[in-house]
A = this chain, B = another copy of it.
């Protein structure tokens, strides 16, 4: 360890660990092409889609279900039960919140 050349002092106070964790967790939910695609499809629908998402994407039903669970856990989508189907839709406020968190974290 030597003295810094181009480093200003960093104040730990500006590090909000919870926010960082949330940003990372949500980014992880976006970190797969299939999930980006699913989100995009849902965002393009006025209402919601059922398991037709499975047909829109070349993956097994169980795989799609898992991707949807991850997106749901991240808060990016909502699931409305319409037996026997489930109607998924994007949660725009949470998507916007991610966007905001991203911008504010990195001072864009």
Tell me how far the C-beta of A1 lies from the nearest C-beta in chain B, rounded to whole angstroms. Answer: 6
A10–B105 CB distance below 8 A = no
Does chain B have a CB within 8 A of A96? Answer: yes
| Separation of A51 and B107 alpha carbons in the complex (Å) | 22
Size of the A side of the interface (Cβ < 8 Å), in residues, is 53
In the complex, the chain B residue whose C-beta lies closest to that of A48 is B6
| Separation of A52 and B3 alpha carbons in the complex (Å) | 9
Tell me how far the C-beta of A18 lies from the nearest C-beta in chain B, rounded to whole angstroms. Answer: 10
B44–A107 CB distance below 8 A = yes
**Which residues of chain B are within 8 angstroms of A4 by Cβ–Cβ distance?**
49-50, 52
By a beta-carbon cutoff of 8 Å, the part of chain A in contact with chain B is 1, 4-8, 10, 14-15, 17, 20-21, 23-25, 27-28, 30-33, 35-37, 39-41, 43-50, 52, 55-56, 82, 85, 87, 90, 92, 95-96, 98-99, 102-103, 105-108
- Asked if A45 meets B8 with Cβ closer than 8 Å, knowing A27-B28, A31-B31, the reply is yes
14 pairs of residues in contact across A and B, judged by CB atoms under 8 Å: A6-B87, A7-B45, A10-B45, A14-B40, A14-B44, A20-B37, A27-B30, A27-B31, A30-B31, A36-B105, A40-B106, A95-B102, A96-B108, A99-B103
